[in-house]
Structure 1
Amino acid sequence: MSNESGSSVTQVKSLDITANPAPLGLLGFGMTTVLLNLHNAGFFALGSMILAMGIFYGGLAQVIAGIEEWKKNNTFGATAFTSYGLFWLTLVALLVLPKMGLADATSKGAMAAYLFMWGLFTAVMFIGTLRANRALQFIFATLAILFFLLALGDATGNATITIVAGYEGIICGFAAIYAGLAQVLNEMYKKTVAPLG
């Protein structure tokens, strides 16, 4: 290849030898989702354990995974992990800022709108997973359902819907944990130990 002055220009392609960031993102999402939805299902109160997971593993770890996916030129992974990492950080802020006297508490209607928008985002992202494996399709489908159930629970004030959402969210979270660990094990053993479909 020559440039305008006629001298030759060499193109260099770099070899990507970086690790797969998806397991970190999936595990950060999955473990935090299971723990929050154990609360939604009524097993324990919302406390510092869930908030800490929301900030650090669900939040920061997923943002880091999203940035790493961006470096790998994976628009879907970058958008998903960064967005859901920031979801966890905003969720914690919605819960903590009023307790710190920095903002008014979010009304049930506003919380329903917040959760509905995340459900809408997830439903569109689910369409993207139709070009991916079955495990990812299942995670995004159940996550969209989870957001819509939680939004409906807040909109109606029906605690039963929130409890049902909690159990559904536990399933979604464990699916993400499976997908993350499957990728780690499959890479370590250089064969399919845990199928992703």
Structure 2
Amino acid sequence: MDKEEVKMVKIKNSDPSAIGLFGLAMVTLVASSQKLGITSGLSFIIPWAMFLGGIAQLYASIEDAKRENTFGATAFGAYGFFWLAIGTSWMISMGVFGEVLAESVDPKQLGFAFLGYLIFTVFMTIGAMETHKLLFSIFFVINFLFIGLALDSFGIGGDFPHKLAAYSEIIISLLSFYGAGAAVLNEHFGKEFLPVGKPFGIFK
């Protein structure tokens, strides 16, 4: 009797970090313009929150999951869902889903959501220490973004939390643009074209 020959085929997917970081860079760039007072309103921020902040990062999460990258899949997935949720929250406050929902909005509920994401970001920041220094820097600044957003939603600290969130977003955007460029060009050229810094080597 012939024995059946079983072959294991592993499909190698490309690194989705570039599209995920680009999505983060774009949405924080557009959102920061409103917080800094350069632009006004939320109408034209919502599409970027949904498609770049949300869907692009969710796509990166799914692709990272296929690569068995738990850290990347968790990070892109969690922040992708965040931007979908925040975009929906903006639409609720603007009355897109009716006056009843808009009139019952309580900003402090968002404050608790931001607090939860701050907790999440803290342990993701620790994990990022063993990826590379650029990614660690992005997570490090995201902590300050959520601190600012949470305090602002709770009405604590006057105008300072709003400014903290605004400047944190623009820094996150610039770092993420660099990260997206590094993810593409380093792989494209097969060498470290844009340095991202070695892991800290503390926990591994």
Deviation at 1:69, TM superposition (A): 0.7
The secondary structure found in structure 2 opposite 1:68 is: helix
Summarize the Cα distance change of 1:152–1:86 in structure 2 as closer, same or farther, 3 Å threshold: same
Q: Hey, what does 2:130 align to over in structure 1?
A: 131
Moved over 4 A (4+): 7-11
Q: Which runs of 5+ in 1 are unaligned?
A: 1-6
CA RMSD of aligned residues (A): 1.9
Deviation at 1:190, TM superposition (A): 1.4
The secondary structure found in structure 1 opposite 2:105 is: coil
> How far apart, CA to CA, are the structure 1 residues paired with 2:7 and 2:196?
34
Q: With the length of structure 1 as denominator, give the TM-score of the two structures.
A: 0.89
Paired residue type of 1:189: F
Paired residue type of 2:133: R
Paired-residue identity, %:
30
Q: Hey, what does 2:196 align to over in structure 1?
A: 196
Deviation at 1:47, TM superposition (A): 2.9
Q: 61-70 vs 46-55, which deviates more?
A: 46-55
Are 1:120 and 2:115 an aligned pair? no
Matches within 5 A, 1:33-182: 33-98=28-93, 99-100=95-96, 101=98, 103-104=101-102, 105-156=104-155, 158-182=158-182
> How far apart, CA to CA, are the structure 2 residues paired with 1:160 and 1:127?
26
Spell out, residue by residue over 1:28-62, the C-alpha distance to the aligned partner (whole angstroms, 9 max, x if none): 01211121122112211133321110111111111
Q: Please tell me whether the aligned partners of residues 42 and 90 of structure 2 are also in contact (alpha carbons under 8 angstroms).
A: no
Spell out, residue by residue over 1:63-117, the C-alpha distance to the aligned partner (whole angstroms, 9 max, x if none): 1111111111111111111111111110011110241216245323212111111
Summarize the Cα distance change of 1:9–1:147 in structure 2 as closer, same or farther, 3 Å threshold: farther
Q: Hey, what does 1:3 align to over in structure 2?
A: none
Aligned length: 192
Deviation at 1:195, TM superposition (A): 0.3
Paired residue type of 1:95: W
Spell out, residue by residue over 1:105-159, the C-alpha distance to the aligned partner (whole angstroms, 9 max, x if none): 5323212111111111111111111211000100111001111111112212522
> How far apart, CA to CA, are the structure 2 residues paired with 1:8 and 1:74?
35
